[in-house]
């Protein structure tokens, strides 16, 4: 939380952010761009991505590229096509932040709708795996590459009612650990970030009666996102970072 990133931390680095149209993903994209990165913005809604692209241009950063990509419905061939486009345009990736996510229902497992369960698991886990798989060759082309997954406190200790979301985040932690071990002798480091309770629309859906003014904003937690993406963390892999260390779980 207290990391002070140099202004050129990500100078000329090519970074892809999923879920870049809103919340933490949007803030990360804007922040990475301010620190010199060239952003590739992925999200489901093109109009919202274009707004982020415009905001990046207005702050004087390098031009970002927009790819409208539906993680829920994309097929394996769609991921391959996307990777081919990125390879042709950029040649490599310096970083990939998986920020897209689906909350699903906050309900006991016995009452969990199977279709919603599958959707949450697909967006939060399967899509992350498929996108990572096709982007790894591009990440390995960079001298120092960072792959970041989004975790959660309920991905370390299960909590009643959090069903598919909790299980998907446990699995995400495992996916990160396996990849970190597989690429420990390469230029690619793999980590998770647990953002903690943050003022986003997803958080409001989970805790509708919570006062959002009691929560950190996405901008408040960006020091962790900068540290894990930038070269200052180049020797750290297989770690689940807390953007709000010491924060107790549950409503603020």
Active site members: 165
The residue written with tokens 């409208």 in the block is 68
Task: Give the separation between CA 222 and CA 234, rounded to whole angstroms.
Answer: 18
* Residue burial 109-135, b: 16+ Cβ < 10 Å; e: rest: eeebeeebbebbbbbbbebbebbbebb
Taking the C-alpha atoms of residue 138 and residue 249, their distance in angstroms, rounded to an integer, is 36
Tell me the Cα Rg of the chain: 17
Query: Do residues 108 and 160 touch, judged by C-beta distance below 8 A?
Result: yes
């Amino acid at each position: 939380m207290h990391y002070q990133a140099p202004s050129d931390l990500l100078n000329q680095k090519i970074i892809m952010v999923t879920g870049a149209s809103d919340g933490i993903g949007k803030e990360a994209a804007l922040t990475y761009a301010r620190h010199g990165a060239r952003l590739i913005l992925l999200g489901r809604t093109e109009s919202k991505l274009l707004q982020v692209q415009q905001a990046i241009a207005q702050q004087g950063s390098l031009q970002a590229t927009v790819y409208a990509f539906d993680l829920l419905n994309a097929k394996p061939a769609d991921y391959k096509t996307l990777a081919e486009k990125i390879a042709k345009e950029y040649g490599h990736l310096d970083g990939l932040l998986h920020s897209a996510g689906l909350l699903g229902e906050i309900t006991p497992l016995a009452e969990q709708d199977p279709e919603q369960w599958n959707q949450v698991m697909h967006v939060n886990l399967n899509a992350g795996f498929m996108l990572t798989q096709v982007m790894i060759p591009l990440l390995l082309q960079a001298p120092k590459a960072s792959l970041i997954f989004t975790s959660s406190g309920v991905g370390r200790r299960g909590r009643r009612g959090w069903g598919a979301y909790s299980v998907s985040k446990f699995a995400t932690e495992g996916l990160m650990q396996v990849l970190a071990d597989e690429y420990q002798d390469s230029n690619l480091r793999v980590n998770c970030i647990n953002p903690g309770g943050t003022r986003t629309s997803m958080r409001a859906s989970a805790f509708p009666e919570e006062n959002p003014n009691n929560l950190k904003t996405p901008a408040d937690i960006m020091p962790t996102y900068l540290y894990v993406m930038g070269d200052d963390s180049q020797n750290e892999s297989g770690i689940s970072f807390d953007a709000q260390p010491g924060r107790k779980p549950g409503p603020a």
